[in-house]
Structure 1
Amino acid sequence: MDMGLTGKTALVTGSTAGIGLAAAIGLAREGAHVILNGRKEERIQRAKEQLLQAVPGAKVSGVAADFSGAKGAEAVTRAFPDVDVLVNNVGIFEPKPFEQIPDEDWLRFFETNVMSGVRLSRFYLPKMRAKGWGRIVFVSSESGVQIPTEMIHYGMTKTAQISVARGLAELTTGTGVTVNTVLPGPTFSEGVGQFVADLARSQGIDTKTAERDFFINARPTSIIKRFASSEEVANLIVYVCGTKSSATNGAALRVDGGVVRAIL
C-alpha cells in the first residue's frame, strides 16, 4: 500500500533505537526524507547507517537535541524549520516506588515526555495548517490508560500526551492536518531489554523467565503474552502518518497486544 509519503519530510524524535528507529525506517521505505534525532551525534550516525542498510538510497538527515529542556526543541526547529510529518516519540521511563519519586523526577519526566511534543507541535502545527496538510503523531503508551503502579510518574506523562493530542486535533478542523496518538503496549526496545535484564539479575533468574513473569504479574491482561517488536508498533505509526489515514483524527490507537481490557 502506497502511503503517499514520497517527497514528504518526517521528523522522528528519539529515533536512534527502538520504536523511533523502526518508525524512521518505515517512513523512509515509503519515500519520506527522514530526520533522525538523538542526544549524541555518534548515536545518530549509527542509526543513519542502520537506516541506509535497511533502505538503500534513502534520504536521511539528523539533528542532535536533548529534550530535557526547551533548548532541545529550539535546536531542532532551527535546523529544520519545515516538516510535513512530526512523530513525537522521545521519552524516558524508570520503575520507582511512588514514595521514592521526588519532585525533580516528576518535573523531569513531564519536561521530556510531554513538553518536547508540546514545543515541537506549537512550532510546526501552524505551518502544517497553512499548507493544508500535515501529520502529528504522539507515541504514548497503554500506561497512559492503565497507570502502572511501579512508575506512576511515567503513566501520568503518557495520559497527558493523549490529552494534548486530542486538543490539538480539535485545532485542525476542516484542514488536511491530523493529530493522533499511538499507544504501544510492552515493546521490546533497547530500554526494555535493559529493564528485563536488570529484573532478571535482581531476582537471580534468566531473562526468558523474567519476561514470562512480567506478563504473569505486571501485565496479566496481555493477550499476546509477549513483548511486541518495535517494527510491529512502527507499522501503525507509519500508517497514521500517511495519506491513507486522512479520516483518522483525534484518535488514540492501541497497538498494545490486548493489554487494555476495553472494546473502545
Structure 2
Amino acid sequence: MNIDLSGKTALVTGSTAGIGYAIANGLAGSGAGVVINGRSRDKVDAAVRKLEGTGAKVRGIAADVSTAEGCKALVAALPDVDIIINNAGIFEPKDFFEIPDQDWSRFFEVNVMSGVRLSRAYMKGMLKRNWGRIVFISSESGLNIPVEMIHYGMTKTAQLSVARGLAQLTTGTGVTVNSVLPGPTMSEGVETFVKDLAKQNGQSVDEAAANFVKQHRPSSLLQRFASVDEIANMVVYVASKQASATNGAALRAEGGIVNTIA
C-alpha cells in the first residue's frame, strides 16, 4: 500500500516527542506538510529541526492547547488543516483518594477539551472541502479503566464519545473521525516513569517494564510495551485516503489487552 498525502496539511498536537513526534514523522514520510505543536518554543523548534533533517515539509507552532486561549492562538496561526491528530495529553498514576478536584479539571482540559476546541475550529472547513481526517489518540485505558489513574481513564473514555459523536456529523461526506487506542507504549514520558519504577524496586529498566505489563496489563497478548512507531503506523493509515471507509471507529493498537472480540 502506497500512502500518499502530498498536498495535505497535517497538525499533530503534542508532537515535540513521543507518540506525537512519531506520528508527525510518519505523516511527513507519506508526503504531508506537517505542523509540529507543543507548549515550549524551544522544544517545538528542536523537533522541527530534527524532522527537517529527514527532508520533511514541516513548520512549528508553540501553543498551549490545554487552554481556550492557546487553541485560539494556534488556529489564528494555522486557519485550515486537512488532517488533525488530537494527540496532546497527560497521565499520572495517583491513588483515587488523593486526586483533588483541580486534577480532574486539568486532565479534562488537556486530554479532552483540546481536541474538542480544535475539532470545532477545523471541522467545518473539512466538511466544506469534502475531505478531512480527525483522529483522537485515546487509550485502552478508556475501556479498561486503570485503578492507578482513574482520572486519566475517564478522559480517554470521553475522547471515544466525542470522536463517535463528531463522526456522525460527517454522514455522506469525505471527512472521517476516528480514535486510535494505544496500550503501554515506550515514549519518552513512559520511559521516565519506567526508570523511576526500576529505581524504586531495585530492578533493571527491562525488568521493570516487563513486570509492569505482567502486573498491570496481564491480558496483554503482546507482553511488552509497544514502540511509538507501531502506534504511528496505525495513525498514518487512518489519516490516509485509503482509510475512506473507516469512520466512527475506535481502532486498537494496544497489543490485545482488551479481552473482547468487538
Shorter-chain TM range is over 0.9
Letter in 2 for 1:7: G
The corresponding residue for 2:223 is 225
TM-score when normalising by structure 2 = 0.98
Letter in 2 for 1:115: M
The corresponding residue for 2:16 is 16
How far residue 66 of structure 1 moved from its aligned partner, in angstroms, is 1.2
Contact persistence 1:69–1:111 (CA under 8 A): yes
How far residue 75 of structure 1 moved from its aligned partner, in angstroms, is 1.3
The corresponding residue for 2:44 is 44
The corresponding residue for 2:240 is 242
The corresponding residue for 1:6 is 6
Which runs of structure 2 are paired with 1:20-99 in the superposition (5 Å)? Answer: 20-53=20-53, 55-56=54-55, 58-99=56-97
Q: Deviations over 1:138-165 (max 9, x none)?
A: 0000000000000000000000000000
Name the CA distance, whole Å, in 1 between partners of 2:215 and 2:57.
44
How far residue 232 of structure 1 moved from its aligned partner, in angstroms, is 0.4
* Structure 2 counterpart of 1:195, from 178, 193, 198: 193
Name the CA distance, whole Å, in 1 between partners of 2:159 and 2:104.
15
Q: Share of identical aligned residues, percent?
A: 61
Runs of 4+ in 1 over 4 A off after TM superposition: none
How far residue 52 of structure 1 moved from its aligned partner, in angstroms, is 2.2
Letter in 2 for 1:101: I
Contact persistence 1:169–1:249 (CA under 8 A): yes
Name the CA distance, whole Å, in 2 between partners of 1:202 and 1:39.
30
Name the CA distance, whole Å, in 2 between partners of 1:64 and 1:169.
28
Which runs of structure 2 are paired with 1:132-151 in the superposition (5 Å)? Answer: 132-151=130-149
Letter in 2 for 1:42: D
Name the CA distance, whole Å, in 2 between partners of 1:49 and 1:261.
41
Q: In structure 2, the residue corresponding to 1:10 is in which secondary structure? A: strand
How far residue 213 of structure 1 moved from its aligned partner, in angstroms, is 1.0
How far residue 48 of structure 1 moved from its aligned partner, in angstroms, is 1.3
Name the CA distance, whole Å, in 1 between partners of 2:205 and 2:2.
39
The unaligned stretches of length 5 or more in structure 2 are: none
Name the CA distance, whole Å, in 1 between partners of 2:222 and 2:246.
25
Q: In structure 2, the residue corresponding to 1:220 is in which secondary structure? A: coil
How far residue 111 of structure 1 moved from its aligned partner, in angstroms, is 0.2
How far residue 205 of structure 1 moved from its aligned partner, in angstroms, is 1.9
TM-score when normalising by structure 1 = 0.98
Q: In structure 2, the residue corresponding to 1:36 is in which secondary structure? A: strand
Q: In structure 2, the residue corresponding to 1:171 is in which secondary structure? A: helix
